[in-house]
Chain A
Amino acid sequence: MSTLLRMEFGKLFRLASVRFGLVLLVLFPLLWAYAPGIFEVYGFFLVSGFQVPALSLLSSMQFLLPLLVSITAAELLGVELAHGTLPTVLLRPVTRPQWLSAKLIVVAIYPFLVMAVFLLASLLAGTPYGFGDFVGGTGLGESGLLGTGVMTAGEAFGELLLAYAVAALALVPIGMLAVLFSVLFMNAAGGALATLSTLIFMQLLVVFPSVEPYLLTTQLNAYSSPVASLAWVLALILVYSALFAASAVVLFERKDF
Chain B
Amino acid sequence: MPTPAIESVNLTKSYGGRPIVRDLSFQVNPGEVYALVGPNGAGKTTVIRLVSGLAFPTSGHVRLLGQDPHQHPAVRRSLGAVVEAPAAFYPFLTGRSNLRLHADLAGGVEEGRIDELLELMELSHAAERKVGVYSLGMRQRLGVAAAMLTRPTVLILDEPASGMDPLSLHLVHSVLQQAAQDGTAVLLSTHHLDEVVAYCTRVAIMEEGALIDEVNLFDRRERFRVHVTHPAQAKALLETAPFVRHVAVRGEDVVFIPASPEAIGRVSVLLAQSEIGVLEMSRDIFDLRAYYRDRVSAERARRTGSFHTARPDGTLPGVGRERDEAGGQP
Q: Interface of A with B (CB < 8 Å)?
A: 3-4, 7, 11, 14, 83-85, 87-95, 254, 256-257
Q: How far is the CA of A88 from the CA of B52 in the complex (A)?
A: 11
Q: How far is the CA of A84 from the CA of B55 in the complex (A)?
A: 15
Contact A84 B54 (CB under 8 A): no
Contact A7 B101 (CB under 8 A): yes
Q: A83-B91, A88-B83, A256-B49 are in contact. List 8 more A-B contacts (CB 8 A).
A: A7-B101, A7-B105, A83-B89, A89-B105, A91-B52, A91-B79, A92-B105, A256-B56
Task: Name A92's closest neighbour in chain B (CB-CB).
Answer: B105
Task: Name B104's closest neighbour in chain A (CB-CB).
Answer: A3
Contact A94 B105 (CB under 8 A): yes
For B56, the chain A residues whose CB sits under 8 A away are 254, 256
Pick from A3, A83, A87, A92: contact of B76, CB under 8 Å: A92
B106 at the interface (CB under 8 A from A): yes
For B226, the chain A residues whose CB sits under 8 A away are none
Q: Given A91-B83, A94-B105, A256-B54 in contact, is the A85-B74 Cβ separation under 8 Å?
A: no
For B49, the chain A residues whose CB sits under 8 A away are 87, 256-257
Q: How far is the CA of A92 from the CA of B77 in the complex (A)?
A: 7
For B102, the chain A residues whose CB sits under 8 A away are 88, 92
For A84, the chain B residues whose CB sits under 8 A away are 84, 88
Contact A94 B73 (CB under 8 A): yes
Pick from B54, B75, B89, B92: contact of A257, CB under 8 Å: B54
Q: Given A87-B54, A91-B54, A92-B106 in contact, is the A14-B84 Cβ separation under 8 Å?
A: no
Provide a sorted-by-A list of 22 A–B residue pairs whose CB atoms are within 8 angstroms.
A3-B105, A4-B105, A7-B104, A14-B92, A83-B88, A84-B84, A87-B49, A87-B83, A88-B84, A88-B88, A88-B102, A89-B105, A90-B54, A91-B54, A92-B106, A93-B74, A93-B75, A93-B105, A93-B106, A93-B107, A256-B49, A256-B56
Q: Given A14-B92, A85-B88, A254-B56 in contact, is the A93-B77 Cβ separation under 8 Å?
A: yes
Contact A95 B73 (CB under 8 A): yes
**Number of A-B residue pairs having CB atoms within 8 Å of each other in the complex:** 63
- Closest chain-B Cβ to A199's Cβ sits at a distance in Å of 31
- Closest chain-B Cβ to A25's Cβ sits at a distance in Å of 23
For A93, the chain B residues whose CB sits under 8 A away are 73-77, 105-107
Q: How far is the CA of A90 from the CA of B79 in the complex (A)?
A: 12
Contact A85 B105 (CB under 8 A): no
Q: How far is the CA of A201 from the CA of B303 in the complex (A)?
A: 52
Q: How large is the interface on B (under 10, 10 to 19, 20 to 34, 35 or more residues)?
A: 20 to 34
- Closest chain-A Cβ to B4's Cβ sits at a distance in Å of 20
Q: How far is the CA of A93 from the CA of B67 in the complex (A)?
A: 14
For B92, the chain A residues whose CB sits under 8 A away are 14
- Closest chain-B Cβ to A89's Cβ sits at a distance in Å of 7
Q: How far is the CA of A85 from the CA of B53 in the complex (A)?
A: 15
Q: How far is the CA of A19 from the CA of B74 in the complex (A)?
A: 36
Q: Given A3-B105, A93-B107, A256-B54 in contact, is the A88-B73 Cβ separation under 8 Å?
A: no
For A3, the chain B residues whose CB sits under 8 A away are 104-105
Q: Given A3-B105, A92-B102 in contact, is the A85-B83 Cβ separation under 8 Å?
A: no
B81 at the interface (CB under 8 A from A): yes
Contact A85 B89 (CB under 8 A): yes
Contact A87 B73 (CB under 8 A): no
For A254, the chain B residues whose CB sits under 8 A away are 56
For A14, the chain B residues whose CB sits under 8 A away are 92
For A92, the chain B residues whose CB sits under 8 A away are 76, 102, 105-106
Q: How far is the CA of A49 from the CA of B82 in the complex (A)?
A: 56
Q: How far is the CA of A88 from the CA of B143 in the complex (A)?
A: 10
Q: How far is the CA of A136 from the CA of B179 in the complex (A)?
A: 76
For A91, the chain B residues whose CB sits under 8 A away are 52-54, 76, 79, 81, 83
Task: Name B108's closest neighbour in chain A (CB-CB).
Answer: A3
Q: How far is the CA of A39 from the CA of B165 in the complex (A)?
A: 69
- Closest chain-A Cβ to B157's Cβ sits at a distance in Å of 11
Contact A85 B90 (CB under 8 A): yes
Task: Name B97's closest neighbour in chain A (CB-CB).
Answer: A10
Q: How far is the CA of A123 from the CA of B74 in the complex (A)?
A: 50
For A94, the chain B residues whose CB sits under 8 A away are 73, 105
Q: How far is the CA of A229 from the CA of B307 in the complex (A)?
A: 80
Q: State the 8 A-B residue pairs at the shortest beta-carbon distance, nearest first.
A: A84-B88, A256-B55, A92-B105, A257-B54, A93-B76, A3-B104, A93-B77, A91-B81
For B88, the chain A residues whose CB sits under 8 A away are 83-85, 87-88
Q: How far is the CA of A89 from the CA of B53 in the complex (A)?
A: 12
- Closest chain-A Cβ to B152's Cβ sits at a distance in Å of 10
For A83, the chain B residues whose CB sits under 8 A away are 88-91
Task: Name B132's closest neighbour in chain A (CB-CB).
Answer: A83
Q: How far is the CA of A11 from the CA of B107 in the complex (A)?
A: 20
Q: How far is the CA of A95 from the CA of B88 in the complex (A)?
A: 19
Q: Mark B52-87, 1 if CB is under 8 A from A, else 0.
A: 111110000000000000000111110101111001
